[in-house]
């Protein structure tokens, strides 16, 4: 069972409640749902924590997504328990910081992940915020029981890619048309303002593709 897990919480330290900020006429979280609906997965799950679920779950339900609530700070634990509860064996991990995430890149990565039998897959070279990570749940289970440190618990995947001698890590570079050192993730108010400017120009009634976003990034470098 392959599942998209969208990791969202409302109390971000640098830009609290950014998940509910507007991008066009929908919230940032809803834009993530829209973009990730194009990913070839069996199910889609908002993976959040107790203080955020009351406000986020209605958005997920309206979008046709399931919701799982788990540990606030131990996101690795949250993901392992969500996988167990939903029968997931392969996680496509996305975060609520990235409303311009590329479903096309995610689908390409998923095909490579399956072909290589990797434990962890992630593209390099694309704009920061456009990609996902793909993780085998069996590998996450091993990480979860192997005394990961605080950073590894908070960020889910580092335990795996810090140990390439133990896990099968696949980190290919994206094709040339997707190579660009720009940044389209939301971490600060400046990031949100930047994405709103991009959205106003590139949004055409469907989740913007990288083919549409990268020319804008080239015209408006940061």
Q: Give the burial class of 139: count Cβ atoms within 10 A of its Cβ; 0-12 exposed, 13-18 middle, 19 or more buried.
A: buried
Cα separation, 76 vs 153, whole angstroms: 5
- DSSP symbol at 183: B
Cα separation, 8 vs 172, whole angstroms: 26
pLDDT tens digits, one per residue of 60-92: 999 999 999 999 999 999 999 999 999 999 999
Residue 168 has which token pair? Answer: 């099968």
Residue 44 has which token pair? Answer: 């889609």
Cα separation, 106 vs 111, whole angstroms: 9
pLDDT tens digits, one per residue of 166-183: 999 999 999 999 999 999
Residue 102 pLDDT > 90, yes or no? yes
Tell me if the pTM is above 0.85. yes
Residue 52 pLDDT > 90, yes or no? yes
* Per-residue confidence (pLDDT) for residue 222, from 0 to 100: 87
- Region 100-105: what's the mean pLDDT? 98
Collapsed DSSP state (helix, strand, coil) of residue 106: helix
Sorted by sequence, the CB contacts under 8 Å of residue 19 that are 6+ apart come out as 8, 9, 10, 12, 27, 28, 29, 52, 56, 96
End-to-end Cα separation, the chain, in angstroms: 40
Residue 199 pLDDT > 90, yes or no? yes
Residue 43 pLDDT > 90, yes or no? yes
All structural domains of the chain, each given as residue ranges with its CATH number in brackets, are 2-219 (3.90.550.10)
Residue 14 pLDDT > 90, yes or no? no
Give the ranges where 28-181 is alpha helix by DSSP (H): 28-36, 50-63, 75-86, 103-116, 137-144, 150-155, 158-161
């Amino acid at each position: 069972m392959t599942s998209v897990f969208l990791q969202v919480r409302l109390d971000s330290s640098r830009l609290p409640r950014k998940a509910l900020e507007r991008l066009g006429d929908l919230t940032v979280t809803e834009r993530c749902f829209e973009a990730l609906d194009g990913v070839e997965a069996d199910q889609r799950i908002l993976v959040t924590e107790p203080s955020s679920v009351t406000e986020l779950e209605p958005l997920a339900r309206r979008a046709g997504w399931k919701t799982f609530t788990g540990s606030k700070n131990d996101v690795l634990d949250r993901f392992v328990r969500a996988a167990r509860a939903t029968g997931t064996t392969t996680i496509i991990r996305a975060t609520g910081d990235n409303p311009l995430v590329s479903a096309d890149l995610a689908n390409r990565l998923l095909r490579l992940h399956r072909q290589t039998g990797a434990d962890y897959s992630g593209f390099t070279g694309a704009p920061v915020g456009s990609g996902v990570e793909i993780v085998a749940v069996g590998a996450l289970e091993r990480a979860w029981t192997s005394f990961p440190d605080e950073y590894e618990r908070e960020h889910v995947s580092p335990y795996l890619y810090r140990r390439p001698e133990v896990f099968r890590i696949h980190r290919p570079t994206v094709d040339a048309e997707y190579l660009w050192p720009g940044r389209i993730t939301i971490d600060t108010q400046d990031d949100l303002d930047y994405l709103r400017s991009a959205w106003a120009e590139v949004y055409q009634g469907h989740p913007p593709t990288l083919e549409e976003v990268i020319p804008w990034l080239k015209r408006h470098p940061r």
